[in-house]
Each structure stands twice: as structure tokens, then as C-alpha cells.
């Protein structure tokens, strides 16, 4: 039995009826999990051998042809023993942009989740130190959303300048 079949079986047996959207593109295995069960699904996958979280990212599907959900959050998982990879996707919509944090499962999720929040405004609940990662704390927009213009909204020019006397 291949590594992938084992993963598929363990996920389907632990979360019966919820994980059905399996797909494959150029031999990359993907699965879509409902946002309500993402933490459980990731926990099951970790126990099934996916010991490394390679990346977490998100895609704003606002302008994507035929998309029904606003945001797609993508977890790239890897089994460092066998080399098996799996891409887990989940979909969330406004106004409820919340997902459980993956930090208790892989502590490497820490900065990745903060970056997703920084760029897309998706909140990860249960994160130990949740704040913006790259942009300043006073920044108000989420720049990788599709409704944010490439040239920005003038933040760069209207940044408050602290003079030496005020500091």
C-alpha cells in the first residue's frame, strides 16, 4: 500500500463523510477539507506521518473565474521519512475569516500564520503570539487581497513621521 493510500484511508476513517474532494494535478495530491474540521484533519495527517509543515499560504479568489469562496487557505505538508507530499486546502468567506491555529500541531506554523494574517487578514485562533509579521502594526489594509491596488493606497506617502523632538 502506498504512502498516499494510507494517508487517504486514515483521513477518511477519522473524519467520515467530510473529506471527499481529492484531486491530482501533475502527480501532486490535493485534498479540500471543510474549514470547521481543518484542525482535526491536520492533526490526523500529522499522526499519519506528515511531520513537516512546509508552508501555509492563502489565495484571494475574488477575481478567479468560477470561484465560489473568497479565500482559499493552503497547507503544504511533507513526510520527511517517505517524501510523500500533500496539499490541504480549505475555504473561508467573509465575515467569518477565522481558522484554528496549526501551532499546537507543528510549531513552525507560527510565522507562516502571522504572514497570512498580515497579507490577507485571516485570523488564526489559538496562536500564541498573534500580530502582523512583516508590515507595521499601524498598517490597516491587507495588501495581497485582490481589491487592494498594486500601487497601494498612499500609505507610503502618508506615514506618520516622528520628529526627534517628539521621540
Other C-beta atoms lying within 10 Å of the C-beta of residue 144:
16
* Residue 127 per-residue DSSP state: -
How far apart are CB 16 and other proteins at their closest, in Å?
27
Binding to other proteins (CB under 8 A): which residues in 78-117?
80, 83, 85, 87, 106-108, 110-112, 115
Q: Could you tell me which stretch among 11-19, 36-44, 59-67, 159-167 binds other proteins (CB under 8 A)? A: 59-67
Binding to other proteins (CB under 8 A): which residues in 145-164?
150
Counting residues that bind other proteins (by CB under 8 A) gives 37
Which of 6, 14, 37, 57 touches other proteins (CB under 8 A)? 57
Which x/- pattern over 119-138 shows residues binding other proteins (rule: CB under 8 A)? x------------xxxxx--
Q: Which triple of cell numbers denotes residue 46?
A: 500529522
Which x/- pattern over 31-50 shows residues binding other proteins (rule: CB under 8 A)? --------------------
Which of 17, 65, 95, 128 touches other proteins (CB under 8 A)? 65
Other C-beta atoms lying within 10 Å of the C-beta of residue 5:
9
The dihedrals phi and psi of 23, each to the nearest 5 degrees, come to -150, 165
Helices (H) and strands (E) in the chain, counts: 3, 7
Check: CB of residue 15 under 8 Å from CB of residue 71. Answer: no
Helix residue ranges, H only, 15-160: 38-47, 109-120
Return the exposure string of 67-77: e unless at least 16 CB atoms fall within 10 Å of the residue's CB, then b. Answer: eeebbbbebbb
Say which residue the cell 507560527 belongs to. 110
- Which residues of this protein are in contact with other proteins, per CB under 8 A? 25-26, 28, 30, 51-55, 57, 59-60, 63-65, 74, 76, 80, 83, 85, 87, 106-108, 110-112, 115, 119, 132-136, 143-144, 150
Amino acid at each position: 500500500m502506498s504512502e498516499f493510500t494510507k494517508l487517504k484511508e486514515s483521513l477518511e476513517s477519522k473524519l467520515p463523510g467530510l473529506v471527499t474532494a481529492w484531486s491530482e494535478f501533475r502527480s501532486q495530491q490535493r485534498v479540500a477539507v471543510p474549514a470547521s474540521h481543518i484542525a482535526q484533519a491536520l492533526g490526523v495527517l500529522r499522526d499519519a506521518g506528515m511531520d513537516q509543515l512546509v508552508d501555509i499560504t492563502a489565495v484571494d479568489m475574488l477575481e478567479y473565474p468560477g470561484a465560489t469562496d473568497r479565500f482559499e487557505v493552503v497547507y503544504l505538508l511533507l513526510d520527511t521519512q517517505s517524501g510523500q507530499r500533500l496539499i490541504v486546502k480549505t475555504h473561508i468567506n467573509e465575515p467569518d475569516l477565522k481558522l484554528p491555529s496549526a501551532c499546537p500541531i507543528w510549531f513552525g506554523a507560527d510565522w507562516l500564520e502571522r504572514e497570512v494574517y498580515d497579507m490577507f487578514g485571516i485570523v488564526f485562533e489559538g496562536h500564541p503570539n498573534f500580530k502582523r509579521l512583516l508590515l507595521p502594526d499601524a498598517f490597516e489594509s491587507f495588501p495581497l487581497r485582490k481589491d487592494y491596488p498594486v500601487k497601494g493606497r498612499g500609505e507610503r506617502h502618508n506615514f506618520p513621521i516622528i520628529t526627534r523632538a517628539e521621540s
